Structure 1
């Protein structure tokens, strides 16, 4: 098989679709502390079976229903539309909490919040009123991700997905991949080009004719995100469900940094989980090396020093992550119409710094786990390798080498970062 062919030839199309959420069962969270408390309650539940879900690749339908009913899906809805409108700091902390419990399950709502930010910055008043209302009622949003590499899709911003005017109305056609959350979503926003060659975002109902979500995600990590394929075959589209994505490239905003901030928070959660399992295993199961002259592994001076270094890295990454969230909060509070290109660039720079550190923390912690805990930690029943598999898979979402390039080019040459969802 050549590297240009699909690694998975099966077509495991899920016959299950997300069930409607009873709005009367959806909590209405009113503020930041309520959101944090809700995240902790879910994390306690999600952590119980995290290792087994990963091992058996059991898709988290029931857990996501609980997530919807918790009210967390609406915490970024503006207050004027009935939401809690929590701070970026709170949003980040909820992701760290949930991803420390189960990184793959915690990642699933990432695109939910990302497209809500697009709605906030590009949606009309009528679209915001209607779609924010759906989210308040428990609707989950997924995402039809970038297309697979092809001559027509040389980068993740290019592709052949089209929204066309026809005598029968608007029709959407295309093949998408990396569609985290789409399998479980009631609406699947998708990027496409319209007849004028402009980028739009189409909020497609999952049950619309011509929509097919295929569970063909077979990565080594983040296994239950179901980040596979979405096919749109001449899907009828309501014009009111189309957002002018192209406008966001022409004006400064926070939708890109906001999306990237959540990616960094996911990695932070992975790092935290790996370190917590390292400490637990060393305390409860690891044996000291014979030449250490100590009775317990926790007294090994080299293990102690390495745990100290990992702790410093974890805390440094978290501190910079929160600083980045605070920077976005400050910019979010600027008077309407005053956010300029410099502001948008500063947000991207702040988030890039956090992404570099959380990537390093996740990879270091998940790899060092085995060195410190010893060979017993590699036994399959413990499934501790899921932390490294999750870290290695998720940190590839956007190359960290381009984050350091962004930072260096901004500091050295004052080149402002390009505005898109990956900056």
Structure 2
């Protein structure tokens, strides 16, 4: 039996956030703490347990729990804003609950009332969920080899998972496996369960502290109560796909905002103007001013489309159907194009406008580009252009899956 990676997992003690306005206030407060040592956490690839605990105990991880189960049930537009605020402080920590929110959506869509009451209460207490969904060896992202089979009164899972964001910090892991009919089942497994192995082997150049490594299921036993028929989320129109994409785009918006923030501060304090500008400060260099203005305009456009995409999900949620789910997917696709492109552009422009001294290791500004380059690989944005164009030209609705 393999050994799991060790990380201090403390009993949760979460505050319960009441509404949208409080969620935004708390997000700003938490972001101020997370931003303070974000560069050092990236440099050393370490996140102290008290930082993760502060984040989840703030109540932000429970803000999507429905009101009937005691949650704030914030709007999708506000959720996107919360994720962007946190990600502007530390996008790795902004990403670790991204799949947590998506897993809560799975529970909302496919859980029985008893399952919803149980797992939503755990979340409100401060339990952190992480995913064990993707696999790295298949021909594409939907090629799943992990199996779930009946075993006595329950089930047993065997397989190897990759890109398991937040796994090192989680109280619970949600493992995706295929049953005998090749249908996707989602099993919630408590950390420490025999046969659940967390491997801290994430070695990417960016998003270095997301703990997006490997999870092994080795004869992992699961009770029927902990099983959700996730395949049903795509048999009929639901917001599972656009919801997941919205949370991803929000992280990229945060990365862009962080890069632009550090660019402005560095240009003001340390950059030198070009000799032909005839000015004393880089902040007075007219070509630099133009570039900063262009970045801000494009970032605000991306943030506006992100907010509009959230509104589209909010409008569709009461009664999702083929048409309004398609419109939500299209709105998110448009936002994701701009958040992807501005994250990469802003993190690159930092060095152009900051000059050579901005590349010094002590600033660790390259983390912005590394984070943007890695996270925007989540799914190819070129296909977002295709989705939008195919809708406009041919009336073809976006596909229904986790990436649309």
After TM superposition, the score normalised by the length of structure 1 is 0.93
In the other structure, the counterpart of 1:367 is 348
| 2:50 matches 1:62 | yes
In the other structure, the counterpart of 1:414 is 395
In the other structure, the counterpart of 1:187 is 172
SS state of the match for residue 159, structure 2? strand
| CA distance in 2: counterparts of 1:169 and 1:47, whole angstroms | 44
The answer to whether the 8 Å contact 2:8/2:49 transfers is no
Residue 32 of structure 1: how far off its partner (Å): 0.6
User: What runs of 5+ residues in structure 1 fail to find an aligned partner?
Assistant: 1-10
SS state of the match for residue 339, structure 1? coil
In the other structure, the counterpart of 1:282 is 267
1:99-248 counterparts in 2 under 5 A?
99-149=87-137, 153-167=138-152, 169-248=154-233
| CA distance in 2: counterparts of 1:13 and 1:193, whole angstroms | 23
In the other structure, the counterpart of 1:402 is 383
In the other structure, the counterpart of 2:80 is 92
SS state of the match for residue 400, structure 2? coil
In the other structure, the counterpart of 1:392 is 373
| CA distance in 1: counterparts of 2:269 and 2:256, whole angstroms | 20
| CA distance in 2: counterparts of 1:348 and 1:365, whole angstroms | 25
SS state of the match for residue 163, structure 1? strand
In the other structure, the counterpart of 1:4 is none
| CA distance in 2: counterparts of 1:130 and 1:422, whole angstroms | 28
Residue 17 of structure 1: how far off its partner (Å): 5.1
Residue 61 of structure 1: how far off its partner (Å): 2.3
User: What runs of 5+ residues in structure 2 fail to find an aligned partner?
Assistant: none
Residue 275 of structure 1: how far off its partner (Å): 0.4
| CA distance in 2: counterparts of 1:414 and 1:119, whole angstroms | 32
The answer to whether the 8 Å contact 2:34/2:51 transfers is yes
| CA distance in 1: counterparts of 2:401 and 2:8, whole angstroms | 30
The answer to whether the 8 Å contact 1:77/1:132 transfers is yes
The answer to whether the 8 Å contact 1:32/1:86 transfers is yes
SS state of the match for residue 219, structure 2? strand
2:294 to 309, 322, 337: 309
In the other structure, the counterpart of 1:51 is 39
SS state of the match for residue 327, structure 1? helix
Residue 308 of structure 1: how far off its partner (Å): 1.0
Residue 12 of structure 1: how far off its partner (Å): 9.9
| 2:70 matches 1:82 | yes
- Structure 1 residues 17 and 251: CA distance shift in structure 2, 3 A: farther
Task: Render the CA deviation track for 1:320-364: whole Å, top value 9, x for unaligned.
Answer: 1100001111112x3xxx421111111111100000000011011
Task: Render the CA deviation track for 1:143-200: whole Å, top value 9, x for unaligned.
Answer: 0131112xxx211111210110124631011100000011111111121111222111
SS state of the match for residue 147, structure 1? coil
1:22-61 counterparts in 2 under 5 A?
25-61=13-49
Residue 18 of structure 1: how far off its partner (Å): 2.2
Residue 410 of structure 1: how far off its partner (Å): 1.4
| CA distance in 2: counterparts of 1:409 and 1:183, whole angstroms | 40
Residue 411 of structure 1: how far off its partner (Å): 1.4
After TM superposition, the score normalised by the length of structure 2 is 0.97
- Compute the RMSD of aligned alpha carbons: 1.3
Residue 74 of structure 1: how far off its partner (Å): 1.0
| CA distance in 2: counterparts of 1:103 and 1:167, whole angstroms | 43
SS state of the match for residue 95, structure 1? helix
The answer to whether the 8 Å contact 1:165/1:195 transfers is no
1:16 to 7, 14, 19: 7
The answer to whether the 8 Å contact 1:12/1:215 transfers is no
| CA distance in 1: counterparts of 2:257 and 2:223, whole angstroms | 43
Residue 68 of structure 1: how far off its partner (Å): 1.8
